[in-house]
Chains A and B, each alone.
Chain A
Amino acid sequence: EVQLVQSGAEMKKPGESLKVSCKGSGYIFSNYWIAWVRQMPGKGLEWMGIIYPADSETTYSPSFQGQVTISADKSLNTAYLQWDSLRASDTAMYYCAIQYRRSDAFENWGQGTLVSVSS
């Protein structure tokens, strides 16, 4: 069974750093894209970026370029989403999702990681 398991909820202060994770199982992790999707409270889904773990090829949405870093460790079957300096506006639910080919849908989703940033 294909599964994506994300790390737990985080409460942080503005200016702090954070790295959340997404561990894949039940499929060949390296061979398929992992996307990150943001959902701010009461708002819609926003595609942040995507990584191909086999070679770490990464594409970012213009809205998130330079704001976050997406990475992957194929030896651990894990993808990461990282902030160097959090802001209150980063408060949101973050989902990872698998995409088998560029044109495919996001067929499998993680359970989400809630990030809360407040002083």
Chain B
Amino acid sequence: SYVVLQPPAVSMAPGETARISCGGDDIGTKSVHWYQQRSGQAPVLVITYDTDRPSGIPERFSGSNSGNTATLTISRVEAGDEADYYCQVWDSESDHRVFGGGTKLTVL
């Protein structure tokens, strides 16, 4: 089954740019979705199909995907961005949906 890997944690000061990676074999050929999960809440979709922001998601959130790495970028990080972030793909060969292990973003 397809595997996607994320760093366990990232720490940034307010105003800095956070980049969270999601690695997988030729992940650039797949569509990657990103979710934000604040403590005690259900996940919320923040980036879909690699780069698209759903309605209501700030422009500070952006995504990219190429080669073996997809990246979620959060510009001008704020305290309210502190959360766990998960990438997710669909593996068409197995028809399985796959989550990365999640990255905890701490805002210092």
* Chain A residues with a Cβ under 8 A of chain B: 35, 37, 44-47, 50, 59, 61-62, 95, 97, 99, 102-107, 109-112
Residues of B within 8 A of A37 (CB): 99
Residues 29-77 (chain B) with a chain A CB within 8 angstroms: 31, 33, 35, 37, 42-45, 48-49, 54
B46 to chain A, nearest CB (A): 10
**Total A-B pairs, Cβ < 8 A:** 61
Residues of B within 8 A of A50 (CB): 97
Whole-angstrom CA separation of A95 from B37 in the bound complex: 12
> When the two chains form their complex, are residues A46 and B99 in contact, meaning their CB atoms are under 8 A apart?
yes
* Chain B residues with a Cβ under 8 A of chain A: 1, 31, 33, 35, 37, 42-45, 48-49, 54, 84, 86, 88, 90, 92, 95-102
Is the contact region of chain B dominated by helix, strand, or loop, or is it mixed? strand
> When the two chains form their complex, are residues B43 and A59 in contact, meaning their CB atoms are under 8 A apart?
no
Whole-angstrom CA separation of A36 from B88 in the bound complex: 14
Q: Kindly report which residue of chain B lies nearest to residue A105, judged by CB atoms.
A: B33
> When the two chains form their complex, are residues B43 and A106 in contact, meaning their CB atoms are under 8 A apart?
yes
Whole-angstrom CA separation of A35 from B1 in the bound complex: 18
Whole-angstrom CA separation of A119 from B51 in the bound complex: 47
